[in-house]
Chain A
Amino acid sequence: MIAPGNEASAKRRPSKVNVRILRQDGPGLPGYWERHQVDYEPDMNVISVLQKVAAQAKTSEGKNVAPVAWDCGCLEEVCGSCTMVINGRVRQSCSALVDRLLEDDANEIELRPMTKFPVVRDLVIDRSRLFRSLQRVKAWVPVDGYYDMGAGPRISREEQEQNYPLSQCMSCGCCLEACPQFTKIELQRQPGETAEDYAARKNASFDEGFVGAHAISQAMLFNAHPVGKNMASERMDALTSAGGVQDCGNAQNCVAVCPKEIPLTTSIARAGRAATVYSIKKIFDR
């Protein structure tokens, strides 16, 4: 026995799903749009659509093409690798359900790679700047050593509750994609340049750009940690150098698009306060 409501919605279900994909054959090459059509199935997500698209390797006009490349990992919105711009908004494709997307626009689903990172191929992008930012702010607890350091200090419940949301960051890059202050940095490897030279040149260029909300938030997380605190001044040096927390323009898109609902703007304001105190201290403690 099927409820009348379900019957009605079953009738509205399309037999085909149209997808428009912004493709790019390689780094630095021009992008181009391509239409694909796949059979509808209930409870699809964008990943399962992309699996079908790649398996068909054929546009909706029937032209044979190279399979569309994309990236994914956990398929449960905790790794961040399948992040792309879906119907104009950055999000994870694994948690983007086709039935919901068709409610917005029944005709078509639009997929494009993130615009703030260099495209490797089609929907695959190079997120190395995001990880470089984490290195810049030393987003870790320094416990590496040759001897047992014993048990760590206790963290109060209050601190735990403040820190736990920040620890959920999966480095997906949504906050950076939506940030008007975070602009794309894309370099090309020059002929004859070694991989090491290219990496060094890229890092030097990244280090002049805005670190971004994720790194600011991680710096605040590790500055609040009893052991991580030992490197607090180094993190503050990073956050008050070129491209630090001062580059934030307070558009607050980061917190609006964060799939983990991390209080990024609170972290930014906290970093702003810490930077105010740190920079004044630096003047008078010299």
Chain B
Amino acid sequence: MSSPATSAPIQSFLLRHDFLIRRLHSLSGLVPVGAYMCVHLLTNATLVGGASVFQDKVFTIHSLPLLPVIEWTFIFLPIIFHAVVGVWISRNGKSNLQQYPLSGNRRYTWQRITAYIAIVFIFTHVFHLHGWFQNEWWLKNIAEPLGMAKFRPYNAASSLSTALAGPTVIAGILWSIFYAVGVLACTFHLANGIWTAGITWGIWLTPKSQRRASIACVLFGLFIGAAGLSALVAAKTTKVDAAARTENEMYDARIQSHSITPDDHKRSAPHVVEEPKPVPVQ
């Protein structure tokens, strides 16, 4: 009754499709967003094996045709949908953890707290490393002047490490905390989200089976969270110069074998292959 007249059609649309919207919200959290997050964090964790292992994985990802279309269809748009609907859902509920400090209720409240952390984290993280839009004007005039869009796929580990180091030592520490908190929030949100989705879709019914499922979800969360944090530690301890040298060598090798085409936009600096110096004749 107190809602403004302009929101009435939206309100009626949401009510008519309440079931479908909420089930799509649940599904989108699992596939593609949750599945993508697992692939993403496990790919990142390969950095523990060294800059070359990680670079190899990034080359594979960037060999996909129409990558921006894939990114927007299967990653960005589902995340935006999940976030927008999630905010609407969380605003319809009212936490009462103070009166009922029960474990399920605690998870309910934390699912919403981590959701808001995840929204801030993901939107900043994508801007920080990816830049959101791979558009020349946007990157040159908006993203890069703000110190964003730092990641260079063909200099993966070195550009990541530089981005996480930030311009100052304090900035580096703040970025590390930001990424650690963000990754852990996303991990909790996904692990608990899988558990609640199992009830929502009717997979685990009884308290006994729900308890077993929650143990599995905790183990899953610990695994994914450890993968995410190990990637962060690996990125912070990467030696930028050595990594860049390896990456440039790998780039040159790939160019020579024609497995990638030259693309300076995906590199930290246009790199000229040094011609072997002629040996002076004595």
Q: Are A247 and B22 in contact (CB under 8 A)?
A: yes
Question: Which residues of chain A from 240 to 286 have a CB within 8 Å of any chain B CB?
Answer: 240-244, 246-253, 255-257, 263, 265-266, 268-277, 279
Residue of A243, A249, A256, A271 contacting most chain B CB atoms (<10 Å): A249
Residue of A181, A255, A268, A272 contacting most chain B CB atoms (<10 Å): A272
Q: Are A263 and B206 in contact (CB under 8 A)?
A: yes
Give the number of residue pairs across the A-B interface with Cβ within 8 Å: 106
Residue of A246, A250, A263 contacting most chain B CB atoms (<10 Å): A250
Query: Which chain B residues lie closer than 8 Å to A271 at the CB level?
Result: 202
Alpha-carbon distance between A240 and B200 when the two chains are bound, in angstroms:
12
Q: How many residues of A contact B (CB 8 A)?
A: 38
Q: Are A273 and B93 in contact (CB under 8 A)?
A: no
Alpha-carbon distance between A142 and B202 when the two chains are bound, in angstroms:
27
Query: Which chain B residues lie closer than 8 Å to A255 at the CB level?
Result: 207
Task: Answer yes or no: B137 CB below 8 A from chain A CBs.
Answer: no
Q: Interface code A99-120, partner B: CB below 8 Å = 1, 0 otherwise?
A: 0000000000000000000000
Q: Are A253 and B19 in contact (CB under 8 A)?
A: no
Interface of B is mostly: helix
Query: Which chain A residues lie closer than 8 Å to B264 at the CB level?
Result: none
Q: Which of B93, B199, B207 contacts A183 (CB 8 A)?
A: B93
Q: Are B105 and A246 in contact (CB under 8 A)?
A: no
A–B pairs, 29, beta carbons within 8 Å: A89-B100, A180-B94, A180-B109, A181-B92, A187-B1, A208-B15, A242-B16, A244-B18, A246-B18, A247-B92, A248-B200, A249-B89, A249-B108, A249-B196, A250-B199, A251-B102, A251-B105, A251-B108, A252-B102, A252-B104, A265-B207, A266-B205, A268-B199, A269-B199, A270-B202, A272-B200, A272-B201, A273-B202, A275-B202
A contact set with B: CB distance below 8 Å: 88-89, 178, 180-181, 183, 187, 208, 240-244, 246-253, 255-257, 263, 265-266, 268-277, 279
B contact set with A: CB distance below 8 Å: 1, 15-16, 18-20, 22-23, 89, 92-96, 99-100, 102, 104-105, 107-109, 195-196, 199-207, 210
